[in-house]
Copies of this chain bind each other. A is one copy, B any other.
Amino acid sequence: MVDAVRMKKPAVHKHTPAGGAPTAPHTADEAQARAAAAHTDEPRIDIPQVTDLLLGTWAETRREAREMIKNPDFWRIEGQPMPEHRDRVLTQLKLLVEAGGSRRAFPKEFGGLEDNGANIAGFEELVLADPSLQIKSGVQWGLFGSAVYQLGTQKHWDAWLSDIIDLSLPGAFAMTETGHGSDVAAIGTTATYDPQTEEFVIHTPFRGAWKDYLGNAALHGKAATVFAQLITGGVNYGVHCFFVPIRDDEGAFLPGVGGEDDGYKGGLNGIDNGRLHFDQVRVPRFNLLDRYGQVAADGSYTSDIPSPGRRFFTMLGALVQGRVSLDGASTTGAALALDIAITYANQRRQFDSGAGTPEVVLLDYGKHQRRLLPRLATVYAQAFAHDVFLRKFDGVFSGRADTPTEREDLETLAAALKPLSTWNALDTIQECREACGGSGFLAENRLVGLHADLDVYVTFEGDNNILLQLVGKRLLSDYAKQFKGKDAATVARIAARQTAGDLFHGAGLRRLGQAVGDLGSTARSVERGLREDQQHELLAGRVQQMIADIAGRLRPASKLSPADAAGLFNANQAELIEAARAHGELLQWEAFTDALATVQDAGTRHVLTWLRDLFGLSLIEKHLAWYIINGRLSTQRAAAVSSYIDRLCTRLRPHAQDLVDAWGFEPEHVRAPIALGAEQERQDEARAYFAQLAASGQAPTPEKKIKKS
């Protein structure tokens, strides 16, 4: 099925023989490359098997979603003006409802499927149609709907969930304020309980407390889940969420509610982001979404979670799914960009090699391989890590594995992976755009639009640097736990013995196989690169040592004044974030390696092992100075890392098209003309023209040849 549709793309670089004119000059070296690849010793991947692997646990839902969005009504129209784009995306949301796409996460009594993993998987694929569609869906069902469902109780579900699911009640998720994004606990909006009327008074005390950047706020939202400081009996019980109607049926703001359009943004202009403010707006006591904190008619406050801090983080944690879906959608977006750029690089030619041969296809250039192949390896790693992440999410939210520890681990995983995948998407899409030159800058070839739309993924749903800092703090606290109450000698003994697996019990690190000293004692392994266990040792050892080093530097903090302690932490902030990033990279590497272990087909395993090695070695190359300075790699071995990466690129080059084809994108998902045959046609036509000219005897003589004669 997938293969049949893909045949619309030129087949020359696929594993099947070329369908084009076999005598065209450009097929000669390709035929040779294919012949080499087809040699019995040369492994090939089994494309459909790899597609299954990449689609992961919820492959079926992903396939359904991809089938649905083959309908052109779901496609982004490049350059469409904002007002029309917003209308279009609203219509697409309605189509999604009709197709049953909005109900997967919700309870069965409201027509839902209670399938959290499938829900996220399905939404992620929408990025291929239009990222605005993905994110506006996320606003409606993943944030607004999810707030009602996760933070509310049965009475709220009965009141609103059906209308939310079928989009008759579009809503905004009003958490962020102009003045506070990352620091949600400090928002300024207040919800003061009035026991006289049994109402909450929602109020915006100053401009910085306006709710801001909210999808559905500028135009379509009829209600909002508003986060505000809950004040009752003169006490501030911290941030809670309230259901607040904002517009009447004609779309006019209700009394006391006001707002503004955020206007044009860098991307996602199909979403009507805007601001909201409230002037003493009264909502019934009923409208407090009271799963984690309740206010009785008399104004008394109760909660199952006595700690205000833990209660706050529990509420935020209930909304982790946004981060999950950004991790997946960024990965899919980056993979699409690579599909476009690598397909083009296999067809586009520029410059002859100086050896009298035909012009060279871009992907045969060493630099072009270096630009695209390590990024392809990274996107594979992200896909496998995302499936691990999504399974953990599903475990927690299905209730199958819903413990405080699992929730905490899930949040750490989200905070570690979302930054890496969203940043990498921007980096990869940009490199792909540049690798396609001028044609990459045309909107029709998708890359610039993908970059513009995915740009904000790195700062919303948790700013990437803030998320990584959270991961870093978790790593530090896990590290500190083991030393608790132990004397200095014991600490030293533990430190000497410890492995990352011991340290970070909850965060996915496996036990290290061998001590650092074992690493690379023979010249032979320089030749062979770094083995799997050596890569793991290096990557895990780096996280461990960075955390231990930072912990050591922070140790004096307990004896300092609060201000000096804060200063000491601040001096280590950049490195703590770097350590968290290293931790995320390790998780991705481990996920790739675990996925490899499940592959049965020998050829597939062989090629994917090269790809995993390319990912691992690229990470090590990126941090090479650290490995040398910290005695983890000798300078001799370090010097070999780059040449090993070069060799891996050479090995993987003949497989590059297979590896992007394995993502299973069909022409309706790709849509970029340069990756759907336009470039190949132009190359074929040009070559045919010159061949015919030469055959005709009419070709002009090059000036150089006259000079020689």
Residues of A with Cβ closer than 8 Å to B? 78-79, 81-82, 176, 178-183, 186, 188, 205-209, 212-213, 229, 231, 234-238, 262-267, 269, 306, 308, 350-351, 353-357, 359, 364-367, 370, 426, 430, 433-434, 437-444, 447-449, 451-452, 455-456, 458-460, 463-465, 469, 561-563, 565-566, 569-574, 577, 621, 624-625, 628-629, 631, 635, 638-639, 646, 681-683, 685-686, 689, 700-704, 706-707
Known: A350-B180, A437-B459, A456-B438. A208 touches B686 (CB 8 A): yes
Tell me the smallest distance from the CB of A640 to a CB of chain B, in Å.
10
The A interface is mostly helix, strand or loop, or mixed, namely helix
Complex CA distance for A629 and B356, rounded to whole angstroms: 38
Question: B182, A703: Cβ atoms under 8 Å?
Answer: no
The count of identical subunits is 2
Question: B459, A438: Cβ atoms under 8 Å?
Answer: yes
Contact of A308 among B351, B366, B438, B704 (CB under 8 A): B704
Closest 3 interchain pairs by CB? A266-B448, A79-B264, A355-B562
> Which chain B residues lie closer than 8 Å to A460 at the CB level?
438
> Which chain B residues lie closer than 8 Å to A365 at the CB level?
570, 573
Tell me the smallest distance from the CB of A510 to a CB of chain B, in Å.
27
Contact of A570 among B364, B441, B565, B682 (CB under 8 A): B364
> Which chain B residues lie closer than 8 Å to A366 at the CB level?
570-574
Contact of A700 among B235, B266, B267, B353 (CB under 8 A): B235
Complex CA distance for A566 and B360, rounded to whole angstroms: 11
Question: A265, B183: Cβ atoms under 8 Å?
Answer: no
> Which chain B residues lie closer than 8 Å to A265 at the CB level?
441-443, 448
Tell me the smallest distance from the CB of A21 to a CB of chain B, in Å.
15
Question: A561, B703: Cβ atoms under 8 Å?
Answer: no
Question: A638, B646: Cβ atoms under 8 Å?
Answer: no
> Which chain B residues lie closer than 8 Å to A236 at the CB level?
700-703
Question: B455, A441: Cβ atoms under 8 Å?
Answer: yes
Contact of A355 among B212, B213, B463, B566 (CB under 8 A): B566
List 5 A-B pairs, Cβ < 8 Å.
A182-B351, A207-B686, A208-B685, A353-B570, A366-B573
Complex CA distance for A707 and B235, rounded to whole angstroms: 11
Complex CA distance for A482 and B231, rounded to whole angstroms: 81
Complex CA distance for A683 and B434, rounded to whole angstroms: 40
Complex CA distance for A176 and B683, rounded to whole angstroms: 16
Question: B685, A571: Cβ atoms under 8 Å?
Answer: no
Question: B629, A213: Cβ atoms under 8 Å?
Answer: no
Contact of A78 among B264, B433, B463, B703 (CB under 8 A): B264
Tell me the smallest distance from the CB of A374 to a CB of chain B, in Å.
11
Question: A703, B448: Cβ atoms under 8 Å?
Answer: no
> Which chain B residues lie closer than 8 Å to A426 at the CB level?
430
Beyond A231-B700, A265-B442, A365-B570, 13 additional pairs, beta carbon < 8 A: A78-B263, A79-B263, A179-B683, A179-B686, A181-B437, A182-B437, A205-B689, A206-B682, A207-B685, A235-B702, A353-B563, A354-B569, A574-B646
Question: A448, B267: Cβ atoms under 8 Å?
Answer: yes
Question: B181, A443: Cβ atoms under 8 Å?
Answer: no
> Which chain B residues lie closer than 8 Å to A464 at the CB level?
434
CB-based nearest B residue for A649:
B574
Tell me the smallest distance from the CB of A200 to a CB of chain B, in Å.
14
